[in-house]
Amino acid sequence: MIQQKSIRIQTKRAALEFEVDANSRLNQRAFGGNASDESTVVAIPTSGDGWVFEPAIRAVHADGNTSTDLIVEGVSQHADLTCIDLRDPEYPFYLQLFVRAIFDLDVFEMWTVIRHDEESEVVLEAFASSSLDFGTGDFRLTQFSGDWADEANMTSEKLTPGIKSLDSKLGVRAHQFTSPWFLLSKGSDSRTPLQSDSPPLPVRSSEDEGVVFAGALAWGGSFKFSFEVLPKGRLRTVCGMNPYASAYRLAPGVEFETPKMVWAYSDRGTGELSRKLHRYVRDEVIRDGNSPRSILLNNWEATYFTFDEDKIVSLFAGAKDLGIELFLLDDGWFGSKYPRDDDTQGLGDWIPDLAKLPHGIGALTEAAEKLDLRFGIWFEPEMVNPRSRLFEEHPEWLIRQPKREMELQRNQMVLDLTNPEVRSFAYGILDTTLRENPGITYVKWDCNRYFTQPGSSFLSPQNQSHLQIEYVRGLYEVMGRLAAEHPGVQVMMCSGGGGRVDYASMRFAHELWPSDMTDPVRRIFIQWGFSHFFPAIATANHVTRSGDRPLKFAFDVAMSGRMGLDIDLAKLSECEREVAAVAIATYKQIRDIVQLGDLYRLESPYSGSRSSLMYTYGDRAVVFAFSLGESFGNPLRLKGLEGGKQYQVKEINPECGRELTLSGGFLSEQGLPIPTLGKFESVVFLVTGQ
Ligand code: GLA
| Mutate-to-test residue for ligand 1 from 307, 331, 343, 379, highest number of ligand atoms within 8 A of CB | 331
Tell me: pLDDT of 348 over 80: yes
pLDDT confidence tier of residue 201, bands split at 50, 70 and 90:
very low
**CA proximity to 110, closest of 28, 8, 10, 215:** 215
* Mean pLDDT of the 475-482 span: 98
d(CA 83, CA 7): 10
* Chain centroid offset of residue 397 CA: 29
Q: How many residues does the chain have?
A: 690
Considering only CA atoms, which residue is closest to atom 1 of ligand 1?
496
d(CA 531, CA 278): 9
* Mean pLDDT of the 20-42 span: 93
Tell me: pLDDT of 193 over 70: no
Distance of CA 331 from the midpoint of ligand 1 (Å) = 7
Ligand 1 atom index nearest CA of 494: 8
Distance of CA 457 from the midpoint of ligand 1 (Å) = 28
Tell me: pLDDT of 468 over 90: yes
Residue pLDDT, tens place only, 643-688: 999 999 999 998 666 789 999 999 999 999 999 999 999 999 999 9
d(CA 400, CA 381): 17
How much of the chain exceeds pLDDT 70, in percent?
Answer: 97
| Mutate-to-test residue for ligand 1 from 378, 380, 447, 511, highest number of ligand atoms within 8 A of CB | 378
| Mutate-to-test residue for ligand 1 from 299, 446, 495, highest number of ligand atoms within 8 A of CB | 446
Residue pLDDT, tens place only, 579-601: 999 999 999 999 999 999 999 99
Considering only CA atoms, which residue is closest to atom 11 of ligand 1?
496
d(CA 642, CA 688): 11
H/E run at residue 678 = none
* Res 620: pLDDT: 98
Considering only CA atoms, which residue is closest to atom 7 of ligand 1?
496
Distance of CA 379 from the midpoint of ligand 1 (Å) = 10
Average pLDDT of the chain to the nearest whole number: 95
Side chain identity at 677, as an amino acid letter?
L
d(CA 263, CA 308): 48
Ligand 1 atom index nearest CA of 516: 8
Side chain identity at 344, as an amino acid letter?
T
* Res 657: pLDDT: 65
| Mutate-to-test residue for ligand 1 from 176, 298, 300, 518, highest number of ligand atoms within 8 A of CB | 300
* Res 591: pLDDT: 98
* Mean pLDDT of the 264-289 span: 98
Tell me: pLDDT of 613 over 50: yes
Distance of CA 44 from the midpoint of ligand 1 (Å) = 42
**CA proximity to 681, closest of 637, 636, 614, 633:** 633
Set out the domains of the chain in order of their start, with CATH numbers. Answer: 5-131 (2.70.98.60), 133-285 (2.70.98.60), 334-367+383-441+449-488 (3.20.20.70), 599-689 (2.60.40.1180)
Tell me: pLDDT of 204 over 70: no
Alpha helices in 295-336 (DSSP H): 300-303, 309-322
How far is the CA of 567 from the CAs of 284, 526, 540, 546, 682, in angstroms? 33, 20, 15, 10, 20
Quote the Cα angle for 505-82-142, to 5°. 50
**CA proximity to 8, closest of 84, 265, 18:** 18
Side chain identity at 15, as an amino acid letter?
A
Side chain identity at 617, as an amino acid letter?
Y
Ligand 1 atom index nearest CA of 497: 8
d(CA 553, CA 680): 6
Pocket of ligand 1 (CB under 6 A): 300, 330-331, 378, 446, 448, 494, 496-497, 513, 516
Distance of CA 110 from the midpoint of ligand 1 (Å) = 34
- Bridge partners, 495 (sequence order): 498
Tell me: pLDDT of 630 over 90: no
Residue pLDDT, tens place only, 664-676: 999 999 999 999 9
DSSP string, 277-299: HHHHIIIIISTTTTSPPPPEEE-
Residue pLDDT, tens place only, 350-371: 999 999 999 999 999 999 999 9
pTM score, whole prediction:
0.96
Tell me: pLDDT of 425 over 60: yes
Furthest-apart CA atoms within the chain: distance in Å: 79
Question: Three-state DSSP class for 98?
Answer: strand
Distance of CA 494 from the midpoint of ligand 1 (Å) = 8
DSSP H helix total and E strand total for the chain:
11, 38
**CA proximity to 10, closest of 132, 106, 135:** 106
Residue 105 per-residue DSSP state: G
How much of the chain exceeds pLDDT 90, in percent?
Answer: 93
Considering only CA atoms, which residue is closest to atom 8 of ligand 1?
496
DSSP string, 500-534: S-STTGGGG-SEE---S---HHHHHHHHHHHTTTS
* Res 188: pLDDT: 63
Tell me: pLDDT of 608 over 60: yes
Ligand 1 atom index nearest CA of 496: 8
| Mutate-to-test residue for ligand 1 from 409, 512, 516, 541, highest number of ligand atoms within 8 A of CB | 516
Ligand 1 atom index nearest CA of 378: 10
Quick one: 114 exposed, middle or buried, by C-beta within 10 A (0-12, 13-18, 19+)?
A: buried
Residue 17 per-residue DSSP state: E
Q: What is the CA radius of gyration of the chain?
A: 26
Residue pLDDT, tens place only, 76-133: 999 999 999 999 999 999 999 999 999 999 999 999 999 999 999 999 999 999 999 9
* Res 110: pLDDT: 98
H/E run at residue 390 = helix 389-393
d(CA 92, CA 83): 18
| Mutate-to-test residue for ligand 1 from 443, 448, 541, highest number of ligand atoms within 8 A of CB | 448
Tell me: pLDDT of 309 over 50: yes
Q: CA-CA-CA-CA torsion for 228, 230, 234, 240, nearest 10 degrees?
A: -30
**CA proximity to 530, closest of 151, 6, 40:** 151
How far is the CA of 635 from the CAs of 558, 644, 665, 670, in angstroms? 23, 19, 14, 7
Parallel, antiparallel or unpaired: strands 413-414 and 383-384 = antiparallel
Tell me: pLDDT of 69 over 50: yes
* Res 205: pLDDT: 62
pLDDT confidence tier of residue 56, bands split at 50, 70 and 90:
very high
Tell me: pLDDT of 633 over 90: no
Distance of CA 446 from the midpoint of ligand 1 (Å) = 7
How far is the CA of 524 from the CAs of 26, 608, 627, in angstroms? 45, 13, 10
| Beta strand extents in 411-471 (DSSP E only) | 413-414, 440-445
d(CA 291, CA 425): 32
Quote the Cα angle for 176-170-51, to 5°. 110
Parallel, antiparallel or unpaired: strands 511-512 and 490-493 = parallel
Considering only CA atoms, which residue is closest to atom 2 of ligand 1?
496
d(CA 84, CA 389): 51
pLDDT confidence tier of residue 34, bands split at 50, 70 and 90:
confident
